[in-house]
Chains A and B, each alone.
Chain A
Amino acid sequence: MKVGELASALGLEVLTGNVNLDREIQSGYTSDLLSDVIANIEENSVWITIQRHINILGVAKLKDIAAILIPRNLQLDQEVIDKARTESVAILRGVLSAFELSGLLYNALKRG
């Protein structure tokens, strides 16, 4: 499943325009501890986190993350969104909680 397809399927807002919408998603990971993400996330994952500072982009680049997914309609600074675009990191946002989004993502990936 591609990032753009996931966004349509789950009704997610795409904050970074066309960035990485064609990227294939292989897995997902939900965590707000950056060291945990660095150690355990798989490549081409959707990373669900409430962290919204600029350092999440460094983690996303380093771990080849397919997209960052922000839950509960939390707000992001424009600076972070702009930087994400220039760094080619896709940021999605959903109204549901991290728990609910994790479940939906899991099911979507299982279905393929």
Chain B
Amino acid sequence: MVDTFQFTPKINLEFAIGEKDFFVAGESASRVKKTLQQLGMEQEAIKRIAVIIYEAAMNVAIHASHGMLRVFISPEAITIETEDAGEGIPDVDLAMREGYSTATHEICEMGFGAGMGLPNIKHCADDLKIESKVGAGTLLQATVYFTNR
């Protein structure tokens, strides 16, 4: 169970992510984490949420020219959404497979592109939805429920 929340309205956070803007991805995850800690949410959920935000934002920074990260916080759940104008994912099931990656050599040398991003997100989320259109972009929505697990 979750601690009592000090707020009732929804809180929404939004971050713009540019191409290869890796630092914003890490920073936005840190900022959301801090916000959730201040709201007194359970540590275990916060840890999972931070991983989802980091990986989802990294995916945008690595694979798309630009995109948005949005975080919707309510007392029951938190939904992390990334929407990008990238090249899209031709085969989502394949992309979900651990170790599968289309990242460039340069990206891999930086320690990204291990093919663990989407599997990490799936592992941490209670609900995961990916809509992708080749040549148009990808919409990812991951939800963590506070009363679950």
Contact = CB atoms under 8 A, between A and B. Distances in A.
A35 B29 CA distance: 14
Nearest to B110: A53
A38 B30 contact: no
B9 interface: no
18 contacts: A35-B58, A35-B114, A38-B120, A51-B110, A53-B110, A55-B110, A57-B26, A58-B22, A58-B27, A58-B29, A59-B26, A59-B54, A61-B26, A61-B27, A61-B30, A62-B29, A62-B30, A62-B54
B23 A35 contact: no
Q: Interface majority SS on B: helix, strand, loop or mixed?
A: helix
A56 B26 CA distance: 9
For the residues of A in contact with B, the DSSP-based class is helix
Which of B23, B25, B111 has the most chain A CB atoms closer than 10 A to its own CB?
B111
Interface in A30-78: 32-36, 38-39, 49, 51, 53-59, 61-63
Q: How large is the interface on B (under 10, 10 to 19, 20 to 34, 35 or more residues)?
A: 20 to 34
B116 interface: yes
Given A33-B116, A39-B120, A51 B51 contact: no
Contacts, number: 60
A49 to B, nearest CB: 8
A39 B111 CA distance: 14
Given A32-B111, A33-B111, A36-B114, A58 B120 contact: no
B63 interface: no
A61 to B, nearest CB: 4
Q: Which of A39, A51, A61, A62 has most B Cβ within 10 Å? A: A62
Contacts of A61: 26-27, 30
